[in-house]
Structure 1
Amino acid sequence: MDFCFSKTAPIVETAKGKLRGFRFKGVDHFYGVRYAKARRFQMPKPVEPWEGVKDAGSYGMICPVLGEPQPSGEVLIPHRFWPSSEHCQYLNVWTSSCDRLAKKPVMFWIHGGGYAAGSSIEQVCYDGFNLAKLDDVVVVSVNHRLNAFGYLDMSAFGEKYKNSVNVGMADLVEALRWVRENIAGFGGDPDNVTIFGQSGGGAKVTVLGQIPEAEGLFHKAIVMSGVIPSDMNQNLVSGKELVLEILKPLHIPENQAERLEKVPVPQFIWAVNKAVRAIYKQGKRVSWGPAPNGYYVCDPLEGSFTAHSLTVPTMVGSVLAEFAFGPGRDIKNMTEADSEKLVKDFYGPEGGGKILAEFRKAYPNTPVAFAADMDDMFLPATVEYVKKKAKDASAPVYNYLFAKVFDYDGGKAAWHCSDIPYFFHNAGMIPVCHQENWEVLDRVMSSAFVSFARTGDPNTQGLPQWDRCQDGRMVTMVLDDQCYTRANMQDELLPLLAAYKPHASFDFGAPAEEEEEEGGNAWVF
């Protein structure tokens, strides 16, 4: 039978009690597994033991967001939305065998959405079925606290809040502890866990490498479009200033800040948004995310990699046109002269000419019109991260760049999130991924990730030799219909982009005023 949900199977006994999932087409699914509990602004604690068998057939609650996203761009990135609660410490597991002796590699997925939004199931392609069935790994995806629930710095208001600015990350550490203690019962190897995430999830992968409590809980790391530029953290408001601003509309005095723990979620979100608007009017910014303290060491681009993180095999990559939000290029009706004019109009005649020459060297198979869409947000920080880690690490560091041009709106180069379905072996689920050669690319990209998770080496059938990066030689695997490698391919391009590309700041800004129509895109992350 394709489906099984019986009184006796599939049931797994965890350290705290029994869970029952369901089996479908050879894969056991366990949804909504509670891995921790926590009071608002405070560190998570493991769940208590229970008697009997708990149901694990429904996804768990996701973290509340501070503003409802407006669905758009769903053809590019299909989404799913779900009920929310600040008590959102739930995870999901997909496995083809619950045999404790199977010792399959474990792939622990951390969703995107910055540190403010998203969930383990928000994108349709965040589904572990195919990786479990076709690639024989155990997939875990996880929800955790976000935005003001996970990263509000309350440390000025009491010792119990000393790490409130990092409790969202602490949730992830607790989830990894759950994996270490329980994943063998789901057929996984607790000594072979790969953390991987995209955008905000990729950033969280880099942060976990800098948290001593996470050491030994994972053994490989994959960062997808997640190395955040340090200049995005300029002119930020202090934690205390923000909390004081939140207290004002709630009429809570400073010496009673602890009352924020009990403010109902809708009222708390209203006060946070009101405070953020006030902060922006003062010329300061609010950016949810972790902050260095005794728990989290530092951003490795601003300080140093921890000694342990340098022993963890790492893969880091991004996509060609990350945040090129405009319409597609009508490349089928453009001559080479048209394309060159477009690029020179964008960068200026001098800059455009130089960039065209270097773009042709780096991307010989890509229409030159897409030189105007090149990412200059994640790519410079990614290159810096890879070079710095490769120079000092004892473990291998690999780099990739997803450069596919999609037949969408006349032609669109790989956008933020467009690589995720292929790495999940889920391109078949996403209509826009049904491009020429999609099945080959789907198989090759997922196989590279799985090979890396299994052995620490992404080389796989269908790819040319993929060498690790070394000091002075950054090797990039360009993932496209025809994959190839280049050494130091960004060294000439990035200075030209910095010199000639019109500057564009990336800031979501303050929430819309209450009487205004809500803004924002669901698909940005």
Structure 2
Amino acid sequence: MMADIQAQSQAQPANGTATQEPIAATRYGKVRGRTNDGIAVFKGIPYGAPTSDSNRFRRPQPPQAWSGVRDAFTYPSMAPQPPAPIRGLFASWTDPTSIGEDCLGLNIWTPALNDGAKRPVMVWFHGGDFASLSGSRSVFDGTRLARRGDVVVVTLNHRLNAFGFMYLGALIPELAGDANPGMLDLVAALQWVRDNIAEFGGDPANVTIFGQSGGGGKVATVMAMPAAKGLFHRAIIQSGTYARNAHLEAMTPDQATQHAHTLLACLELKPADARKLIDLPMGTLVAAIAKAAQAERRAVWRPVADGKNLPAGPSWPKAPEVSADVPLMIGSTATEMSMLMGTPRPDLFDIDESTMRKRLSAWFGPDKLDEAIALFRKKAPKATPGQLFFDMVSAIVFRRGAWRHADLKAAQGQAPVYLYEIDWVTPVDGGKWGSPHSMEHPFVFDNVAGSASMVGTEQAEPQALAEQISPAWIAFARTGNPNHPGIPHWPAYTVPERTTMVFDTASKAVPQFRDDERVLLASAAEKDVL
């Protein structure tokens, strides 16, 4: 992979006319990109060495330098993971990559190279919890976002699941200092951005990290990592603080070690044989990860509060001091769980009242269940039991997490926090999905035209959302304040006002939005359903 690369100064397009392709210099060598609609695009630039062999489970190492000019035309490999189909609401979002342990690569979209413009840099962390997917899905193409905002967009891949989040410190003591290698990959990518992004027209002193779902959880976790201090200056968490014990807290070393034991058992290895994990073929380990996900004691791969790389949970019981001065934007969609629970369990859309009550009893005791159902039904009197269930669980799991996170950030008083909710209802399948998990991707990246499976084929309304949301993200990246002329004034979140920007065809900033829900749900049980 790191062999010398021969320089080619020109490319021949189909019409036979020679065109100059953009070339940029990094600390490790020169890279050649391509131009798309006026934006220079570089794909698969290595920010770390391959993570196979002796580098498996260890902190990332710098990439090896190369001579000549390296073609940066293709996305990096997807991190090793069990295969999963792209289906349903995600069907429009293609991903051309295949898995490989040499996955530490990033992609850049920029309006100009090395022109001293000091553009804001927006670094995207992909979702899929901490276990799956990649930053190379078509909806994350940064062309339109870079052109709209005159910003530099960066997406990347990093280690996931057991490759990036299996805690081995108790089983292989020499790896104790390398806990959370998947998160250390993200820090390494931000260090690469700091050292190289000026060549790509970006400002290393104005970097925003943003991510959705698991990517939002990664943003929250990076905000608590001492090694990342100073590498980013704004943060956006999209649908990423779900269930306090999933993303606001981190696993303890003891909890994480139990998940490592589960994987070892699936491989028929004893704890004393843990070192054999380093030498197993990638495919063998991937197969065991899939098996461990179905085990009686299901293996879960998430950050570990090891006391060093991640001193404590991302934002519980208080917001991390290491990022207290970083402005934060945080929010969710209205009915996150319609996709997350309804896609694998379509029968949930058609449950009856009795089944709805039985399922909700996991969060509410008998004394609170009637009160909770009455509150949500009053706001949506025509909702079916299935719709009411998705609405309530979305509030319990996602909105409650966002409120808690915003409260903790606001209590620090050192940087503003802005809260949002996206309430637009997608027309797909007759509107049954409501405002599902991941729906904001085409709005943030301004890629509505390639997202029919999520937002429908009629583009006027979803494009109107993109005209509000994408500029808000850009404004926040530029200044730490998301306000722009296309939306109503959006005040920072403070207690007790708790103003929320509600994005819809007619957006509005609402003080104490859903405050009755917030008060009621504060006492609901903690239950990690994802």
Provide the TM-score with structure 2 as the length reference: 0.83
Q: 1:403 and 2:420 equivalent?
A: no
Kindly indicate whether the alpha-carbon contact (under 8 Å) linking 2:318 and 2:408 is maintained by their aligned counterparts in 1.
Answer: no
Q: Identify if the C-alpha distance between structure 1 residues 367 and 480 changes in structure 2 by more than 3 Å, giving closer, same or farther.
A: farther
Q: Identify if the C-alpha distance between structure 1 residues 29 and 255 changes in structure 2 by more than 3 Å, giving closer, same or farther.
A: same
Structure 1 residue aligned with 2:346: none
- Structure 2 distance, partners of 1:235, 1:77, is 38
**Match for residue 131 of structure 1 among 142, 145, 155:** 145
**Match for residue 62 of structure 2 among 46, 50, 54:** 46
When the two chains are superposed, the root-mean-square deviation of aligned CA atoms in Å is: 3.2
Secondary structure of 1:446 counterpart: helix
Q: 1:423 and 2:444 equivalent?
A: yes
Structure 2 residue aligned with 1:324: 338
Structure 2 residue aligned with 1:23: 35
Number of residue-to-residue matches in the alignment: 481
Q: Identify if the C-alpha distance between structure 1 residues 90 and 241 changes in structure 2 by more than 3 Å, giving closer, same or farther.
A: same
- Structure 2 distance, partners of 1:406, 1:254, is 49
Secondary structure of 1:157 counterpart: coil
Q: Identify if the C-alpha distance between structure 1 residues 460 and 54 changes in structure 2 by more than 3 Å, giving closer, same or farther.
A: same
The one-letter code sitting in structure 2 at the alignment partner of 1:422 is F
- Structure 2 distance, partners of 1:352, 1:271, is 41
Q: Identify if the C-alpha distance between structure 1 residues 408 and 189 changes in structure 2 by more than 3 Å, giving closer, same or farther.
A: same
- Structure 2 distance, partners of 1:345, 1:292, is 35
Kindly indicate whether the alpha-carbon contact (under 8 Å) linking 2:167 and 2:253 is maintained by their aligned counterparts in 1.
Answer: no
The one-letter code sitting in structure 2 at the alignment partner of 1:406 is T
Q: 1:452 and 2:465 equivalent?
A: no
- Structure 2 distance, partners of 1:399, 1:311, is 17
Q: Identify if the C-alpha distance between structure 1 residues 276 and 353 changes in structure 2 by more than 3 Å, giving closer, same or farther.
A: closer
Kindly indicate whether the alpha-carbon contact (under 8 Å) linking 2:104 and 2:156 is maintained by their aligned counterparts in 1.
Answer: yes
Structure 1 residue aligned with 2:214: 200
Structure 2 residue aligned with 1:506: 529
Secondary structure of 1:400 counterpart: strand
Q: 1:116 and 2:138 equivalent?
A: no
Structure 2 residue aligned with 1:289: 302
Structure 1 residue aligned with 2:72: 56
Using the TM superposition, give the Cα deviation of residue 435 of structure 1 relative to its aligned residue in structure 2, in angstroms: 4.6
Q: Deviations over 1:337-392 (max 9, x none)?
A: xxx9x9999988764443344x37xxxxx986665532121110110100111121
Using the TM superposition, give the Cα deviation of residue 285 of structure 1 relative to its aligned residue in structure 2, in angstroms: 3.9
Structure 1 residue aligned with 2:505: 481
Q: Deviations over 1:108-154 (max 9, x none)?
A: 000000000010113x2111000112221100001000000001111
Kindly indicate whether the alpha-carbon contact (under 8 Å) linking 1:117 and 1:146 is maintained by their aligned counterparts in 2.
Answer: yes
The one-letter code sitting in structure 2 at the alignment partner of 1:13 is A
Kindly indicate whether the alpha-carbon contact (under 8 Å) linking 2:403 and 2:518 is maintained by their aligned counterparts in 1.
Answer: no
Q: Deviations over 1:62-113 (max 9, x none)?
A: 1011x22133214676342521112210100001100340111100000000
Secondary structure of 2:85 counterpart: coil
Structure 2 residue aligned with 1:225: 239
In structure 2, stretches of 5+ residues that fail to align are 1-9, 344-352, 361-368
Deviating more after overlay: 443-452 vs 248-257: 248-257
- Structure 2 distance, partners of 1:319, 1:113, is 16
Q: Deviations over 1:432-484 (max 9, x none)?
A: 43354332221111000000001111001121110001232211000000100
Secondary structure of 1:114 counterpart: coil
Kindly indicate whether the alpha-carbon contact (under 8 Å) linking 1:77 and 1:417 is maintained by their aligned counterparts in 2.
Answer: no
Q: Identify if the C-alpha distance between structure 1 residues 187 and 381 changes in structure 2 by more than 3 Å, giving closer, same or farther.
A: same
Secondary structure of 1:196 counterpart: strand
**Match for residue 259 of structure 1 among 271, 276, 286:** 276
- Structure 2 distance, partners of 1:248, 1:504, is 26
Kindly indicate whether the alpha-carbon contact (under 8 Å) linking 2:492 and 2:499 is maintained by their aligned counterparts in 1.
Answer: yes
Kindly indicate whether the alpha-carbon contact (under 8 Å) linking 1:106 and 1:138 is maintained by their aligned counterparts in 2.
Answer: yes
Q: Deviations over 1:198-251 (max 9, x none)?
A: 000000000000000000000000000001323447999744444445445656
Q: Identify if the C-alpha distance between structure 1 residues 495 and 435 changes in structure 2 by more than 3 Å, giving closer, same or farther.
A: farther
The one-letter code sitting in structure 2 at the alignment partner of 1:271 is A
Q: 1:89 and 2:112 equivalent?
A: no
Kindly indicate whether the alpha-carbon contact (under 8 Å) linking 1:210 and 1:306 is maintained by their aligned counterparts in 2.
Answer: yes
Kindly indicate whether the alpha-carbon contact (under 8 Å) linking 1:220 and 1:453 is maintained by their aligned counterparts in 2.
Answer: yes
Q: Identify if the C-alpha distance between structure 1 residues 158 and 189 changes in structure 2 by more than 3 Å, giving closer, same or farther.
A: same
- Structure 1 distance, partners of 2:522, 2:245, is 14
Q: 1:12 and 2:24 equivalent?
A: yes
- Structure 2 distance, partners of 1:343, 1:405, is 22
Using the TM superposition, give the Cα deviation of residue 156 of structure 1 relative to its aligned residue in structure 2, in angstroms: 1.6
The one-letter code sitting in structure 2 at the alignment partner of 1:90 is G
- Structure 2 distance, partners of 1:95, 1:167, is 29
Secondary structure of 1:317 counterpart: strand
- Structure 2 distance, partners of 1:74, 1:220, is 30
In structure 1, stretches of 5+ residues that fail to align are 328-339, 361-365, 508-525
Q: Identify if the C-alpha distance between structure 1 residues 3 and 488 changes in structure 2 by more than 3 Å, giving closer, same or farther.
A: farther
Q: 1:68 and 2:89 equivalent?
A: no
Structure 2 residue aligned with 1:380: 400
Secondary structure of 2:302 counterpart: coil
Deviating more after overlay: 36-45 vs 177-186: 36-45
- Structure 2 distance, partners of 1:44, 1:236, is 21
Kindly indicate whether the alpha-carbon contact (under 8 Å) linking 2:12 and 2:19 is maintained by their aligned counterparts in 1.
Answer: no
The one-letter code sitting in structure 2 at the alignment partner of 1:143 is N
Q: Identify if the C-alpha distance between structure 1 residues 202 and 275 changes in structure 2 by more than 3 Å, giving closer, same or farther.
A: closer
- Structure 2 distance, partners of 1:499, 1:229, is 13
Secondary structure of 1:93 counterpart: strand
Secondary structure of 1:120 counterpart: coil
Percent identity, aligned pairs only? 33
Structure 2 residue aligned with 1:80: 95
Matches within 5 A, 1:136-175: 136-175=150-189
Deviating more after overlay: 67-76 vs 132-141: 67-76
Q: Deviations over 1:248-270 (max 9, x none)?
A: 56565644432221110111223
Using the TM superposition, give the Cα deviation of residue 159 of structure 1 relative to its aligned residue in structure 2, in angstroms: 3.9
- Structure 2 distance, partners of 1:500, 1:55, is 53
Kindly indicate whether the alpha-carbon contact (under 8 Å) linking 1:61 and 1:85 is maintained by their aligned counterparts in 2.
Answer: yes
- Structure 2 distance, partners of 1:88, 1:417, is 24
Provide the TM-score with structure 1 as the length reference: 0.84
Kindly indicate whether the alpha-carbon contact (under 8 Å) linking 1:128 and 1:139 is maintained by their aligned counterparts in 2.
Answer: yes
